[in-house]
Homo-oligomer: A and B are copies of this chain.
Amino acid sequence: MKRTKIIDTQDLVGKEVNLYGWINIRRDHGKLIFIDLRDRSGVVQAVFSPSDTELRETADKLRPEWVVRLKGKVKVRPEKMFNPEIPTGKVEIEPLELEVLNEAETPPFALDTDGYEIGEESRMTYRYLDLRRPRLLKNISKRHEMVLFMRNWLSGMEFWEIETPILTKSTPEGARDYVVPSRLYPSKFFALPQSPQQYKQLLMTAGVERYFQIARCFRDEDTRGDRQPEFTQLDLEMSFVTQEDILNLIEELFTSLVKNICPSKKITQSPWPRLSHREARKKYGTDKPDLRKNKKDSDELAFAWITDFPLFAKQTEDDFFHGSGSAKFAPSHHMFTAPHPDDIALLDSDPLKVRGLQYDFILNGYEVGGGSIRIHQPEIQEKIFNLIGFTKEQKKQFEHILTAFTYGAPPHGGIAPGIDRFVMILAGEPNIREIMAFPKTGDGRDLMMEAPSEVSPAQLKELHIKIVK
């Protein structure tokens, strides 16, 4: 007999149904045993009366989180027993067959709460139990809906989703790379991409014109706040466009997403306000102001654009180590951002005054993502490399890009909104760990799998590396 989703029982009074799920609660009222059966869709009550000894005997053994198949007849509850808190609160199941599919130990923590009160260590060690909370399952399913919406909307605009490599090259791009030792090429390493930035620019050079990817990115940063070693962005790039085209496209996409997937949310201002970087700093003291009218309204979404960022920032020691060269300034977005055409002359006279064709998309005080129009001429790219003080060797690491640009690179630009942060804000969650299925802990570990972990001496030998204590 076909499986029925528990949520559907509310409309199946009088029908026989075959339910599969987990025991949420068992209440023994002496004469009657009540169980609440839970699946992904909801919870429904079943009542075991003393008349059927065999069924009752099985029901008596049931404990929370046991897995069962329950065949039964859907009946209307006595009116005074209606439970208005759940969609199936007017019905109950009269059992006909009960099969235990798996037993369960008592979970290490309560599953019928939102879970915020439980320590991260427990939640992450038993993430497969933590995820059983309706709150988390809902976050995961909403994330799926939002991402699918983005994919379909962009495909409708003739974007192609294209997968780019995860095993790539270490280049000094502003953060620390994760690297992967090569077994076949001793002393060499792959790097995990900080973003598909170079690949997407090469795709534009290849004539793809409209690319996107829900892309995994990796940064080996010191752990803090809601950073994760791996995160996901909507990576997007277009050829033959202006900054205006990209801003309009993204605004349309996200506005349409909110309307379709989160219709209870209200966008504060439409079209989204646009502030120059200088204006934002002057008026709000920050380049990601929270522009909500009522910060207590959890349904308010205040989107805005910040534009006209300076192309360069003063260089820090970290910049030097992980990216820029020996000059006084580092790229404020990244080294592929095009200078504002009106400011080209300033590149020679006063680089810190040059504006970049760069834009950030902010939401409720968070930076969701940044983008820019890119340089597409090799001579300007080389000039930027010189300005940030790249050595010959550092330039050589980007030779493929400089070479590619000599073969007819089109004007292009793009953006990369962070999916995790966007979903987090729309779900009203305080941390991106709440909207990822298997996040790392705040200190960068996977407690469930116990990663990172030791590897065997044989593995290290094959990889031609040795651990230095």
Q: Classify chain A's interface size.
A: 35 or more
Binds B, one of A46-54, A289-297, A350-358, A457-465: A457-465
Contact of A406 among B22, B38, B104, B230 (CB under 8 A): B104
Q: Mark A124-153, 1 if CB is under 8 A from B, else 0.
A: 001111111000010011001001100110
Contact of A451 among B191, B216, B229, B459 (CB under 8 A): B191
A190 touches B450 (CB 8 A): no
| Most chain B CB atoms below 10 A, which of A131, A405, A462 | A131
A162 touches B148 (CB 8 A): no
A144 touches B155 (CB 8 A): yes
B229 touches A188 (CB 8 A): no
A239 to chain B, nearest CB (A): 7
A260 within 8 A of B: no
A205 touches B128 (CB 8 A): yes
Q: Mark A390-428, 1 if CB is under 8 A from B, else 0.
A: 000000000010001111111100000000000000000
Contact of A187 among B151, B449, B467 (CB under 8 A): B467
A362 to chain B, nearest CB (A): 24
Whole-angstrom CA separation of A39 from B408 in the bound complex: 13
A159 to chain B, nearest CB (A): 9
A254 within 8 A of B: no
Whole-angstrom CA separation of A330 from B230 in the bound complex: 34
Contacts of A445 in B (CB 8 A): 185
Contacts of A409 in B (CB 8 A): 67, 102
A1 within 8 A of B: no
Contacts of A453 in B (CB 8 A): 169-170, 188-189
Contact of A459 among B179, B186, B465 (CB under 8 A): B179
B131 touches A207 (CB 8 A): yes
Contacts of A189 in B (CB 8 A): 452-455
Contacts of A452 in B (CB 8 A): 167, 169, 180, 182, 185, 188-190
Whole-angstrom CA separation of A271 from B311 in the bound complex: 61
A366 within 8 A of B: no
Contacts of A185 in B (CB 8 A): 444-445, 452
A401 to chain B, nearest CB (A): 9
B464 touches A465 (CB 8 A): no
B147 touches A161 (CB 8 A): yes
Contacts of A446 in B (CB 8 A): 165, 167-169
A283 within 8 A of B: no
Whole-angstrom CA separation of A404 from B451 in the bound complex: 17
A207 touches B39 (CB 8 A): yes
A218 within 8 A of B: yes
Binds B, one of A27-35, A87-95, A300-308, A434-442: A434-442
Closest B residue by C-beta to A198? B449
B192 touches A166 (CB 8 A): yes
A203-B437 contact in complex given A166-B192, A406-B104, C-beta closer than 8 Å: yes
B164 touches A407 (CB 8 A): no
B137 touches A148 (CB 8 A): no
Contact of A449 among B180, B400, B463 (CB under 8 A): B400
B216 touches A128 (CB 8 A): no
Whole-angstrom CA separation of A299 from B127 in the bound complex: 46
Contact of A216 among B126, B166, B183, B239 (CB under 8 A): B166
Contacts of A184 in B (CB 8 A): 222-223, 443-444
A220-243 interface with B by 8 A CB criterion: 220, 222-223, 229-230, 232, 239-240
Contacts of A170 in B (CB 8 A): 453, 455, 459
B209 touches A240 (CB 8 A): no
Contact of A167 among B3, B67, B178 (CB under 8 A): B178
A202 touches B448 (CB 8 A): yes
A208 within 8 A of B: yes
Closest B residue by C-beta to A447? B400
Closest B residue by C-beta to A436? B163
Task: Add 20 more A-B contacts to A144-B161, A188-B454, A189-B454 (CB < 8 A).
Answer: A38-B207, A40-B208, A102-B376, A102-B405, A103-B408, A104-B407, A148-B152, A170-B455, A177-B459, A179-B455, A180-B192, A181-B465, A184-B443, A187-B469, A190-B452, A199-B438, A202-B448, A203-B437, A465-B466, A465-B468
Smallest CB-CB A-B distances: 9 pairs: A104-B408, A131-B206, A188-B452, A169-B451, A65-B408, A182-B452, A20-B240, A169-B449, A144-B160
